[in-house]
């Protein structure tokens, strides 16, 4: 078990290295650089050259990458090329915001999707099952900005329950923060629920057609008891991996929602960096996002093993 | 200062804003919600390029010279000036009794240092404005002398540029800005918000009424408009012409429209590249576009018709063509045939300006009526200024307003200009511009600029079809706002000029 976790961590670090190299390569392929993006229409050959020299962009790409990598190995992510601000210090509060929103949305989405997923499986083919499925499908079929605007229209324009601006900062008190982030959290909940709900339902139903479940029914158990006590534990591992994927999506896939609600998360920071070709910032955001994916996937695998006796004691 | 260009302007006001009758009073936090910035913004004035940095720049710092409500140069930290005939030698007087937030007293050395940030080897976008300066000399603690390599009667106007903000001599750490502005920086979170606080001892009389300013980055237009209507912010810039009629319905909000000073929207053809070498074709492009339709459809009427130069119709030197380049499919068709009926491709992108794609499609439709096939190609907005503009033979571009006609024309149309995006090179035009720069007789000057504009319109490669309006939204309790001949949001000085009723 420990060996497996250590191996996953090692592989994760290797993945991060590859990710950083790929991101760097991709930023090199993108047309333009930070100097031409910042100066934009105001660029002249002279001020471009002065800007590039100041930032060390006249060095070869490989040596810039190695310098950056050396810094990162020493825990130094450097400063943004555009405004010379410390990347960790800029990123940390935004990452906390992103996690806060993702956590809030997960708290809403997990019970709803797993709960209704199980309920739908128990009542397969009946009204609850149909309604849960149809509602979830409608939510996932609408683009997230549309869902966001609908919520704003109903809950902050027509009825002023929640603010449409979710701009929070480090000094925002917790209660106010929860209040401000409610609409974006609901938007994201609606986005991820369908996937998890249907996966829960289908995994449970797949197990339901196995002989040992039939045996349980023959023993005279109720459908609800068969589902929760016998089917669900064995259906857990695909559900957990879908949940992990969706949790990761809650962290990395929220750019549009951030934009609609003007929420200061990592997504907008990364978009701004890409627009300005600010390579160290893009790298830092990329590594944060990749780490979230790797961590959640590792966690999902470990949990699947812990929950399943057959995987726990391999023969 | 004789001969300085004053911009004559026509203003329109919607929803009854711009009430100046009330007596100003102190207090409150002004919450601005703005577009025009990003997480990569910096406090260093050399890097400013959009509305949000200009706004916080003017909160914290002061400029050298400012533009008053009529578009005339007015002393700011440089209090007054004089020049000799020929306009090459200038004496500027530095305002006395001004202190920085750090407590240092302003003197000539600070001014010279701040100017030199934009001279020599610099990344500053203002470098071109000062390139004619050959020497800056300190005459006394409160007086400097500027010598130009060639005369320019409009030098004070060049010094109104928003990059030229004043810092103490030797100042380098822009993360802790030290200015003479009304507000001192409290917290800087680029891409999120900027907080400033009134210093309580601003030198300009009757200004800076707010206790503090909270500037929020709200890049999404719908979110910004919504935040304004629901009272989460007190002012918003760049309202969308398509939804401004809804905003006006709100009882709590008023809309301020500034007519004819916004961005100039154009398509530019490279005059030295085939098929645009032919002036017949260039004229076909100008007669084949239905300007009124674009203004009505794309800008919902919140724009004026452009005249194929970057001079807006509100400018007092504006010289309309005679006859005007109104939509004429037959004329466009015959000119196009005369040019050999070449294939034409136009590259458009929303990265050039918002509405470029729609305008391009309307252009294509209008050309179709003349029997001309205009191929409109949509390209990525990402890296547009680097990859398409100045490189593609026919593409979309916008130009912002400049404080003088000289700057406006010489940055884009002089043969040697860095940003001559039509590659139109006309020695006779260069000569007129250079002569007008030192011409102090107003009537003659007007004549010269009219001739220059007609040259561009009749032979140049720019199809400037519209000049946009600025649309600001203010909560009804914000008083003291008025249109300004340069930028929106009271020349980005709303923090200094407005107050709460």
pTM: 0.87
Nearest to B467 by CA among B411, B400, B390: B400
Residue in the structure block whose two tokens are 């009430």:
B19
Task: Judge whether A263 is closer than 8 Å to chain B, CB to CB.
Answer: no
Q: For residue B436, give the nearest of B260, B321, B317, B322 by alpha carbon.
A: B317
pLDDT at B49: 85
With CB atoms and an 8 Å threshold, state whether A85 touches B175.
yes
- In the three-class reduction of DSSP (H, G, I as helix; E, B as strand; rest coil), residue A8 is classed as helix
- CB-based contact, B243 to chain A, within 8 Å: no
Collapsing DSSP to helix, strand or coil, B98 comes out as coil
Distance in angstroms (rounded) separating the CA atoms of residues B235 and B232: 9
- List the strands of the sheet with B89-94, edge to edge: B78-83, B89-94, B143-148, B133-140
The pLDDT of residue A312: 67
Which of B120, B127, B217, B223 would best serve as a mutation to test chain A binding (most A beta carbons within 10 A)?
B223
Interface test with A, best of B40, B173, B412 (most A CBs within 10 A): B40
Strands B253-258 and B478-479: unpaired
The answer to whether the CB atoms of A167 and B193 lie below 8 A apart is yes
Chain B, nearest residue to A40 by Cα: B385
Instruction: Name the residue in chain A with its Cα closest to that of B384.
Output: A40
A89: nearest CA in chain B?
Answer: B189
* Cβ separation B38–A272 shorter than 8 A: yes
**B382: which chain A residues are within 8 Å (Cβ-Cβ)?**
30-31, 275
pLDDT of residue B381: 85
Taking the Cβ of residue B173 and every Cβ of chain A, the question of whether any pair is shorter than 8 Å is answered with no
3-state SS assignment for residue A118: helix
Distance between CA B404 and CA B310 in Å, rounded? 11
> At a CB cut-off of 8 Å and minimum separation 6, what does A94 contact?
A264, A265, A266, A269
CB contact under 8 A, A152 and B226: yes
**Is the ipTM, as predicted for this complex, more than 0.90?**
no
Residue to substitute from A34, A37, A42, interface B, most B β-carbons within 10 A: A42
Beta carbons of A169 and B386 less than 8 Å apart? no
Residue B218 and residue B236 in contact, taking contact as beta carbons nearer than 8 Å: yes
Q: What is the pLDDT of residues A102-139, one digit of tens each?
A: 999 999 999 999 999 988 888 888 898 899 889 888 98
- Are B191 and A269 within 8 A, CB to CB? yes
| Residue B85 touches chain A, beta carbons under 8 Å | no
Q: How far is A47 from chain B (nearest CA, A)?
A: 4
**Quick one: closest CA in A to B53, which residue?**
A83
* A window 161-200, beta carbon within 8 A of B: 163-165, 167, 169
- Cβ neighbours of A83 in B, within 8 Å: 40-44, 47, 190
B67, containing H or E segment: strand B65-67
Buried b (16+ CB within 10 A) or exposed e, A243-255: bbbbbbbbbbbbb
B49 contact residues in A (CB cutoff 8 A):
38-40, 42
* pLDDT band at A207; cut points 50, 70, 90: confident
The pLDDT assigned to B432 comes to: 95
Nearest-angstrom CA–CA distance, B189 and A169: 9
Contact between B383 and A31 using a beta-carbon 8 Å cutoff: yes
The residue among A160, A164, A159 whose CA lies nearest residue A182 is: A164
pLDDT (0 to 100) of residue A309: 66
Cα gap A6→B479, rounded to integer Å = 64
List the beta bridge partners of residue B99: B105
- Tell me which residues of chain A, numbers 63 to 122, contact chain B at a CB-CB cutoff of 8 Å: 80, 82-85, 90
pLDDT digits (tens, 9 = 90+) for A57-96: 888 889 999 999 999 888 889 899 888 899 999 999 999 9
Contacts of B418 in chain A (CB under 8 A): 44-45
* Residue numbers in B near A40 (CB within 8 A): 49, 385
- C-alpha angle A243-A244-A246 in degrees, rounded to nearest 5: 65
Closest-approach residue (CA) in chain B for A274: B382
The one-digit pLDDT tens for each residue of chain B (501 residues) are: 333 333 333 344 444 444 445 689 999 999 999 999 988 899 999 989 889 999 999 999 999 999 998 888 999 999 999 998 888 999 999 999 999 999 999 999 999 999 999 998 888 888 888 989 999 999 999 999 999 998 898 899 999 999 999 999 999 999 999 999 999 999 999 999 999 999 999 999 999 999 999 999 998 898 999 999 989 999 999 999 989 998 999 999 999 999 888 899 999 999 999 899 999 999 999 999 999 999 999 999 999 999 999 998 878 888 887 778 999 999 999 999 999 999 999 999 998 898 999 999 999 999 999 999 999 999 988 778 888 998 999 999 999 888 788 989 988 999 988 789 999 999 999 999 999 988 878 899 999 999 999 999 999 999 999 999 999 999 999 999 999 988 999 999 999 999 999
Strand partners, B136: B146
Whether residue A156 and residue B49 make contact (CB cut-off 8 A), yes or no, is no
The string of pLDDT tens digits covering residues A31-65 is: 788 888 877 777 778 888 888 888 888 888 899 99
Does residue A314 carry a pLDDT above 70?
Answer: no
Side-chain-side CA neighbours of B137 within 13 Å: the count stands at 9
Q: Which residue of B32, B386, B395 to mutate against A (max A Cβ within 10 Å)? A: B386
Residue B233 forms contact with A (CB below 8 Å) = yes
Q: Does A279 touch chain B (CB under 8 A)?
A: no
Strands (E), B286-442: 303-305, 344-348, 374-378, 394-399
pLDDT for B214: 97
Higher pLDDT, A227 or B478: B478
A88-312 topology per CATH: MetI-like fold (1.10.3720)
- Record the tokens describing residue B73, joined without a space: 């140069």
Does the distance separating the beta carbons of A32 and B386 come in below 8 Å?
yes
CB contact under 8 A, B189 and A152: no
Contacts of A272 in chain B (CB under 8 A): 38-40, 191
Interface contact B249, partner A, CB < 8 A = no
E strand or H helix at A211: helix A211-218
Closest CB to B223 among A85, A262, A272 = A262
All structural domains of chain A with their residue ranges? 2-73, 88-312
Q: Which residue in A has a C-alpha nearest to residue B42's C-alpha?
A: A83
Count CB pairs under 8 A between chains A and B.
Answer: 132
Rg of chain A over all Cα atoms, to the nearest angstrom = 24
**How close, in Å, is residue A81 to chain B by CA atoms?**
8
Is A165–B227 a contact, with Cβ atoms under 8 angstroms apart? yes
Instruction: Judge whether B64 and B163 are in contact, CB under 8 Å.
Output: no
Structure tokens at A222: 């109720």
Contacts of A84 in chain B (CB under 8 A): 42, 175
> Which of A47, A157, A169 is closest, CB to CB, to B123?
A47
Q: Out of A41, A80, A264, whose CB is closest to B192? A: A264
A45–B contact, CB cutoff 8 A: yes
Judged against a pLDDT cut of 90, whether residue A313 lies above it is answered with: no
């Amino acid at each position: 078990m420990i060996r497996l976790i250590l191996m996953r961590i090692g592989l994760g670090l290797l993945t991060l290295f590859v990710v950083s190299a790929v991101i760097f390569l991709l930023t090199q392929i993108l047309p333009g650089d930070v100097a031409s993006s910042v100066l934009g229409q105001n660029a002249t050959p002279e001020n471009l050259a002065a800007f590039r020299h100041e930032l060390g962009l006249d060095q070869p790409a490989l040596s810039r990458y190695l310098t950056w990598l050396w810094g990162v190995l020493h825990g130094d992510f450097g400063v943004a090329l555009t405004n010379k601000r410390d990347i960790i210090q800029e990123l940390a509060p935004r990452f906390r915001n992103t996690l806060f929103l993702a956590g809030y949305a997960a708290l809403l989405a997990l019970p709803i999707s797993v709960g209704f997923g199980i309920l739908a499986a128990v009542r397969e083919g009946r009204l609850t099952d149909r309604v849960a499925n149809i509602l979830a499908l409608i939510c996932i079929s609408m683009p997230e900005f549309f869902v966001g605007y609908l919520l704003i229209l109903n809950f902050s324009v027509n009825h002023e329950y929640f603010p449409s601006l979710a701009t929070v900062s480090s000094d925002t008190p917790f209660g106010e923060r929860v209040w401000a982030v409610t609409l974006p959290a609901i938007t994201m909940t609606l986005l991820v629920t369908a996937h998890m709900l249907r996966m829960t339902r289908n995994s449970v139903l797949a197990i339901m057609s196995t002989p040992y479940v039939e045996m349980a029914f023959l023993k005279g158990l109720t459908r609800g008891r068969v589902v929760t006590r016998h089917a669900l534990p064995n259906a857990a591992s695909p559900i957990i991996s879908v949940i992990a994927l969706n949790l990761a999506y809650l962290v990395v896939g929220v750019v549009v929602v951030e934009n609609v609600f003007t929420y200061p998360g990592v997504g907008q920071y990364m978009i701004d960096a890409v627009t300005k070709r600010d390579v160290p910032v893009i790298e830092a955001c990329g590594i944060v996002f990749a780490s979230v994916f790797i961590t959640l996937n590792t966690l999902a695998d470990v949990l699947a093993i812990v929950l399943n006796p057959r995987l726990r004691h391999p023969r | 200062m004789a001969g300085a260009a004053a911009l004559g302007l026509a203003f329109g006001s919607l929803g009854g804003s711009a009430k100046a009758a009330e007596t100003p009073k102190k207090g409150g936090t002004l919450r601005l919600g703005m577009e025009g910035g990003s997480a990569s913004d910096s406090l260093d004035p050399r890097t400013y390029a959009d509305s949000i940095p200009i706004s916080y720049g003017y909160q914290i710092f002061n400029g050298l010279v400012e533009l008053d409500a009529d578009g005339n140069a007015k002393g700011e930290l440089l209090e007054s000036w004089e020049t000799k005939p020929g306009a090459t030698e200038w004496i500027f007087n530095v305002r006395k009794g001004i202190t920085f937030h750090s407590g240092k007293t302003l003197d000539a050395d600070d001014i010279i240092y701040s100017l030199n940030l934009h001279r020599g080897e610099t990344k500053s976008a203002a470098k071109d404005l000062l390139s004619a300066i050959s020497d800056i000399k300190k005459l006394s603690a409160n007086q400097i002398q500027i010598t130009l390599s060639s005369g320019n009667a409009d030098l004070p106007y060049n010094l109104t540029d928003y990059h030229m903000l004043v810092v103490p001599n030797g100042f380098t750490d822009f993360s802790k800005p030290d200015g003479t502005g009304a507000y001192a920086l409290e917290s800087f979170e680029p891409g999120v918000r900027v907080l400033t606080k009134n210093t309580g001892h601003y030198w300009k009389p009757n200004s800076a009424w707010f206790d503090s300013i909270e500037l929020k980055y709200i890049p999404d237009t719908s979110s910004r408009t919504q935040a304004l209507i629901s009272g989460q912010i007190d002012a918003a810039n760049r309202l969308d012409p398509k939804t401004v009629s809804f905003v006006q319905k709100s009882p709590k909000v008023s809309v301020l429209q500034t007519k004819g000073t916004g961005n100039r929207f154009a398509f530019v053809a490279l005059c030295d590249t085939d098929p645009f070498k032919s002036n017949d074709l260039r004229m076909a492009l100008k007669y084949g576009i239905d300007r009124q339709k674009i203004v009505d459809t794309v800008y919902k009427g919140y724009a004026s018709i452009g005249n194929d130069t970057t001079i807006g119709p509100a400018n007092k030197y504006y010289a309309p063509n005679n006859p005007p380049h109104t939509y004429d499919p037959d004329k466009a068709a015959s000119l196009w045939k005369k040019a050999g009926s070449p294939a034409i491709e136009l590259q458009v992108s929303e990265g050039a300006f918002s509405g470029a794609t729609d305008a391009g499609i309307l252009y294509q439709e209008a050309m179709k009526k003349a029997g001309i096939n205009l191929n409109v190609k949509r390209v990525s907005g990402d890296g547009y200024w680097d990859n398409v503009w100045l490189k593609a033979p026919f593409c979309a571009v916008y130009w912002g307003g400049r404080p003088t006609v000289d700057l406006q024309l010489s940055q884009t149309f002089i043969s040697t200009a860095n940003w001559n995006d039509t590659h139109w090179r006309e020695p006779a035009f260069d000569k007129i511009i250079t002569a007008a720069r030192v011409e102090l007789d107003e009537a003659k000057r007007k004549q010269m600029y009219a001739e220059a504009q007609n040259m561009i319109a009749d032979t140049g490669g720019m199809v400037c079809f519209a000049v946009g309006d600025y649309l600001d939204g203010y909560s009804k309790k914000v008083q003291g706002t008025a249109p300004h001949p340069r930028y929106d949001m009271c020349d980005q000085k709303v923090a200094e000029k407005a107050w709460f009723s």
